[in-house]
Amino acid sequence: MSGKNDEKVRTIPFVRQGKKLTVGEIPEITAYEAGFLTVTNASWRTETPVCDRNRCNGCLNCYLYCPEGCVYRDGNTGKIDIDYDFCKGCGICAKLCRKGAITMEKHGK
Amino acid sequence: MRTFISGNEALAHGIRLARPHVISAYPITPQTTVVEHLSSMCSAGKLTAEFVHVESEHSALSCAIGASATGARTFTATSSQGLLYMAECLHYAAGGRFPVVMMNANRSTALPWNIYGDQRDSMGLLDQGWIQLYVENAQEALDMSLVAYRVAEDSRVLTPFMINMDGFVLTHTYEVVDIPDQELADRFLPSYVTDNRFDFDSPKSMAFSVGPEQNFRFKFREHQAMNRAKKVIAEAEKSFAEVFGRQYTGLVENYRCDDAEYVIVTIGSVSGLVRSVVDELRRDGVAAGLLKIRYMRPFPDAEIAEILRGVKAVGVLEKDISFGYEGTVFTNVNSALQVAGLSVRTSNFIGGLGGADISREQIRDIFQSLESDGRRLNFLGINREEYDD
Ligand code: SF4
Ligand code: SF4
pLDDT per residue rounded down to tens, chain B (389 residues): 999 999 999 999 999 999 999 999 999 999 999 999 999 999 999 999 999 999 999 999 999 999 999 999 999 999 999 999 999 999 999 999 999 999 999 999 999 999 999 999 999 999 999 999 999 999 999 999 999 999 999 999 999 999 999 999 999 999 999 999 999 999 999 999 998 998 888 888 888 777 777 788 889 999 999 999 999 999 999 999 999 999 999 999 999 999 999 999 999 999 999 999 999 999 999 999 999 999 999 999 999 999 999 999 999 999 999 999 999 999 999 999 999 999 999 999 999 999 999 999 999 999 999 999 889 999 999 998 999 87
Does residue A7 carry a pLDDT above 50?
A: no
Residue burial B150-189, b: 16+ Cβ < 10 Å; e: rest: bbbbbeebbbbbbbbbbbbbbbbeeeebebbeeeebeebb
Residue A66 CA: which ligand is closest? Answer: 2
Tell me which chain B residues have a C-beta less than 8 angstroms from the C-beta of A29.
96-97, 158, 194-196
Higher pLDDT: B264 or A6? It is B264
pLDDT reported for residue A75: 77
DSSP character for B58? H
Name chain B contacts of A70, Cβ cutoff 8 Å.
205
A48: CA distance to ligand 1 center in Å?
15
**Peptide bond connecting A13 to the previous residue in cis, omega within 30 degrees of 0:** no
A55 pLDDT above the threshold of 70: yes
pLDDT confidence of residue A4: 40
Q: With the CA atoms of A27, A33, A37 and A42 taken in that order, what torsion angle do they form, in degrees rounded to the nearest 10?
A: 180
Structural domains in chain A plus CATH codes: 7-106 (3.30.70.20)
What was the pLDDT predicted at A1? 29
Tell which of B205, B217, B219 to mutate to test the A interface (max A CBs under 10 Å). B205
User: Chain B residues with CB inside 8 Å of A30's CB?
Assistant: 95-97, 196, 206-208, 210, 218
Mean per-residue pLDDT of chain A: 79
Instruction: Report the complex ipTM.
Output: 0.77
Instruction: Tell me the whole-structure pTM to 2 decimals.
Output: 0.93
Q: What is the pLDDT of residue A36?
A: 60
For an interface test with A, the pick among B97, B158, B202, B208 (most A C-beta atoms closer than 10 Å) comes out as: B208
* Sign of the alpha-carbon dihedral angle for B371, B375, B376, B377: negative
Which neighbouring-strand residues pair with A81?
Answer: A72
- Predicted pLDDT of residue A17: 64
Instruction: Tell whether B383 is within 8 A of chain A (Cβ).
Output: no
Distances (CA, A) of B3 to A18, B60, B111, B116, B240: 62, 30, 38, 26, 20
Ligand 2 pocket check: which of A87, A96, A103 to mutate, most ligand atoms within 8 Å of Cβ? Answer: A87
Q: Please tell me the predicted confidence (pLDDT) of residue A100.
A: 96
Q: How many A from CA of B97 to the centre of ligand 2? A: 25
The pLDDT score that the predictor gives to residue A35 is: 60
What are chain B's domains? 2-244 (3.40.50.970), 252-386 (3.40.50.920)
Which of B95, B155, B217 is nearest residue A23 as measured by Cβ atoms?
B217
